[in-house]
Structure 1
Amino acid sequence: MLAILAKELNSFFSSLVGYIVLIIFLTGIGLFMWVFPETEVLNYGFATMETLFSVTPFVYLFLIPAITMRTFAEERKSGTMELLLTRPLTDLQLIVGKYLASLVLVLFSLLPTLIYYYTIVELGSPQGNIDTAAVIGSYIGLILLGGVFTAIGVFASILTDNQVVAFILAVFFCFILYTGISSLASLSFWGSGAYFISQLGIDYHYISVSRGLIDSRDLAYFLSLIVLFLYATYLVLRSRKW
C-alpha cells in the first residue's frame, strides 16, 4: 500500500498538470479573499476567514475530481491496470493507497492557506482578535469534506477508462451530495420532512462542524460516506475480474 502511495505522489508531482492544479486553486482562493470586492476579507470589518471556508467547498468540487480522475482511469487506458492487479497487493490495499495519495494532495493544497490565518491574526484589532476555535473547526470540516470528495472521485475513476468522463462523474456526484440534497430539501411540499432530508446532505454537516463544535454524528456521517464510496470502488474493481 505504501508503494502505491509513493508511486501516486511521485506521478502527480512529476507532472506539470499537478502543479498547475494547485496553483490555480491557491490563486483562486487568494483572489476571493483579498481582491474581489464582494468577498474581500478587509471589507468585513472584523477578523474572519469565512470567505475561505465558504468558497473552498465549491472550488473543491472541481479541484478534487481533477486530482482523482486519473487514479484508475489512466491505469485502465494505458493497460497497466492488469500489471497492478498481479502485484502482491490486495484490492483493498490498492484502493486505499490511491485514495490516501489523492487525499495527501488535497491536504497539501490547504497548507498554504494557513498564511491567511496568520495574516488575519496580525491584522486584527486588537491583534489576535479571531475565533480560533471556529477556524480549527472549519479546517477540520474542509479535511473531512476533502476526504469524502476524494472517495467519490476515486469511485468515479474506477467506472471508466476516460479521465474526462471520470472528472465529470465526480463533479456530478459531489455536487448532488453537497448542494443537491439541500436544494431538494428546500422544496415546500416536504413539510416537516425537509429537515430530515437536509441532514442527508454534506453541506448540513460541513456547516455544523465549521461552527467549531465537533459532533460525533457529523464525524460518523463523513466517515460513513468515505467507507461507502471506497467499498463501492472495491465492488466495481472486484466485478471487473469476473
Structure 2
Amino acid sequence: MKQLTPMDSHFFYFEAPNQPMMIGSLWLCDQSSAPGGLVRHKEILQYISDRLNTTSFFRRRLEQAPFQLDDPYWLDDENFDLEYHVRHVGLPQPGDWRQLCIFTARTMSRSVDMERAPWEIYIIEGVNNVEGIPPNSFAVLIRFHHAYVDGKASLELTTAMMEETAEHEYGRRDRVEVAERLPTKLEMWARTTPRMMGQTLRSMKAGLTVGRKGLARISHEGIKESG
C-alpha cells in the first residue's frame, strides 16, 4: 500500500468544482482495418481487460487516513468494475470535429469519482465527418486524475494499451489478479500517527518543489521566445 507523494497530494487537495485536476488524451481510430471492418464494444472491453491485467495500476483507488489527518494511500480496489470506467457514447450526426471537441471539452471539465480508481475511457462512436479520418471511425478519450499520473506517466500508460498488430490474443492472463487486503483501522492509525508530526514540513517541501519547477518552465519558455 503506497502513499501519495507530497506533489501528488497537492493535485488531490487542489481539486475544486471549477478546477478539475484532470489530464487526458484523445485517439482517432479507423476500424476499417479490423476483422470484418467493425470493432464491437464487447471486444474493446475484453481488449482493455487483457491489457490492464498485466498491472494493478489501473485498479488502484484512494484509501483515506483516519479523519483525513494524513495523505491518502493507494490500494487495489477489490470491487473493481471495468464497465464503470469504460463508457460507450455516440456523437450527434454528422459527427464532425466541432462536435467531438465539444464533447471532449465538456467531459474533461468534470472530475471523477475518487472513491474508485480515478480514470475513465470513453469510446465515442459516430466520427463520420472529420477531415482526413475515414467515415465510421470512432474516438477514444482517456482521462486520469492528475494525482494518479503526471503527463509522462499518462503517456506511458496509454502507450502500454496499444499493440502493433490487430492480432490480439483475447482472454490471455499474464498475471494472477490478487486484490490487496484492506488495512484495519488500527493499522491505519499506526501509519498515520507518526507522520502527523512532519506533515507541515512535507507540504512546504512539496510546495517549494512545485514552485521551482514552475519557475524553471517559465524561464525556459522565455529563453525560447527570445531566441
* Class of the TM-score when normalised by the shorter of the 2 chains: under 0.3
The TM-score, its normalising length taken from structure 2, stands at: 0.27
Higher strand share: 2
User: Which is helix-richer, 1 or 2?
Assistant: 1
- TM-score calculated relative to the size of structure 1: 0.25
In terms of Rg, which structure is larger? 2
